[in-house]
Amino acid sequence: MNAPSPKCRFHVVDALRGFALVSIMLLHNLEHFDVYFLPPNLPTWMVSMDKMIWDTLFFIFAGKSYAIFALLFGLTFFIQTNNQNKRGNDFRARFAWRLVLLFLFGMINSIFYQGDILTLYAFVGLFLIPLVKLNNKWILAIALLLFLQPYELFQLFTAIQTPDLKIANPKSWTYFGKMNEYIKADSFFATAYGNLTNGKMAVLNWSWENGRFFHILATFLFGMLAGRLNLFAISDKNKKFWTKALIISIVVFIPLFLLQMNLNSILSSKAILRSVKTILTSWTNLYFMVFLVSGFVLLFNTKRFNKILGIFSPIGKMSLSNYVFQSILGSCIYYGFGMSMYQYTGASQSMLIGIFLAIVLGVFCYWWDKNNSRGPLEAIWHKATWIGSK
């Protein structure tokens, strides 16, 4: 099994991770970091432009960018495990400790932004540990089963038996309904407490209701398989693989997406509709994510686009730091304890703010990378991971 050595980096992976982070940053800015508010008295032309920007960016990136992160998380897990195996070390216990540290980083991030994904990754990542010794066929089988959303399929089967069943509103709605009380407040401590209590419950419930737990673990496993098969290395074989993946993913995505968009006119049962929507959304997101990854890899490995897409590499090498930094900056810009910009910015202005933040962090990352081997939080994470080792 070929794999990169500890000193080798796949620059395409760094760039892809940076690309995903920037796209996440843009979406978070459009959402005002969970302060959903449309400023009044905007001119009609700007409202129209805001809607176009919102719809376009969410179509391209929503549900896909975090999946790219998950794919690369699984890839990194394989690389770290494989490198330690070559040295005769069992990485599983150390990886579990690494996830504890990631959870702590996630809780710190949650102080500023309740939509944090790090804590969720840390929890789901634990399920990789008992699966690491399985062969590729078993890993693929489990990943495909999780991808099918087994719990939601069970819910769908139940709904089909009783299509007139009245279903309650999602539990997460109760928590999301309370978030404006503390996010718009002018107290940082009230916001932090609300994010860590009500906000965490909102995100956990929403993630379960939308099949994110199964989806994330499936994508982790696909990333681990990509590492085992060395799919991000430059070779003619891999070029053919990514080309096929690009074509197949978009061919499958289009009919799934069209079906998803027309479900309301096809299904009358609310119970059936909810389960089918959850399943189809998960499937369409994953297929479009594969399309984005395939296209990015193919373009990155060409002379014309290598330098252009390479600007994302420093950002991707410091993805943990940047993910937390953008939460801190975003909350200070949009929340009540900060500049309260949620009151004044539509999607157009918020996108420009997001681009500005991406440029600022990009310049910082480029400078930092020239003088350091790891980002600020990455260095802490690395040192804490190996604490007590010889």
Q: What is residue 195's DSSP assignment? A: I
* pLDDT digits 0-9 by tens, 326-369: 999 999 999 999 999 999 999 999 999 999 999 999 999 999 99
Please tell me whether the overall predicted TM-score, pTM, comes out greater than 0.75 for this model.
yes
Tokens 């843009």 -> residue: 26
- Supply the DSSP string of 110-157, one letter for each residue: HHH-TT-SHHHHHHHHGGGGGGTTS-HHHHHHHHHHHHT-HHHHHHHH
Q: Which residues contact 183 (CB under 8 A, 6 or more apart)?
A: 34, 35, 114, 191, 194, 195, 335, 336
What gap in Å lies between CA 255 and CA 253, rounded to an integer?
6
Q: Are 144 and 174 in contact (CB under 8 A)?
A: no
What pLDDT was estimated at residue 390? 64
Q: Which residues contact 334 (CB under 8 A, 6 or more apart)?
A: 29, 32, 33, 35, 340, 341, 342, 345
* pLDDT digits 0-9 by tens, 154-203: 999 999 988 888 888 899 999 998 998 999 999 999 999 999 999 999 99
C-beta atoms surrounding 322 within 10 Å: 29
Region for 88 from its dihedrals, namely left if φ exceeds 0, alpha if ψ lies in -120 to 50, beta otherwise: left
* pLDDT digits 0-9 by tens, 281-295: 999 999 999 999 999
Give the three-class secondary structure for 6: coil
Q: Where are the domains of the chain?
A: 11-385
Q: What is the mean pLDDT of the chain?
A: 93
What gap in Å lies between CA 258 and CA 253, rounded to an integer?
9
Q: Which residues contact 79 (CB under 8 A, 6 or more apart)?
A: 3, 4, 227
Give the dihedral sign, CA 231/234/237/238: positive
What gap in Å lies between CA 70 and CA 117, rounded to an integer?
10
- Supply the DSSP string of 359-373, one letter for each residue: HHHHHHHHHHHHH-S
pLDDT of the chain, 390 residues: tens digit per residue:
444 443 445 789 999 999 999 999 999 999 999 998 888 888 999 999 999 999 999 999 999 999 999 999 999 999 999 999 999 888 999 999 999 999 999 999 999 999 999 999 999 999 999 999 999 999 999 999 999 999 999 999 999 988 888 888 899 999 998 998 999 999 999 999 999 999 999 999 999 999 999 999 999 999 999 999 999 999 999 999 999 999 999 999 999 999 999 999 998 899 999 999 999 999 999 999 999 999 999 999 999 999 999 999 999 999 999 999 999 999 999 999 999 999 999 999 999 999 999 999 999 999 999 999 899 999 999 999 998 776
What pLDDT was estimated at residue 389? 74
What pLDDT was estimated at residue 8? 44
Q: Are 122 and 99 in contact (CB under 8 A)?
A: yes
What pLDDT was estimated at residue 10? 75
What gap in Å lies between CA 322 and CA 325, rounded to an integer?
5
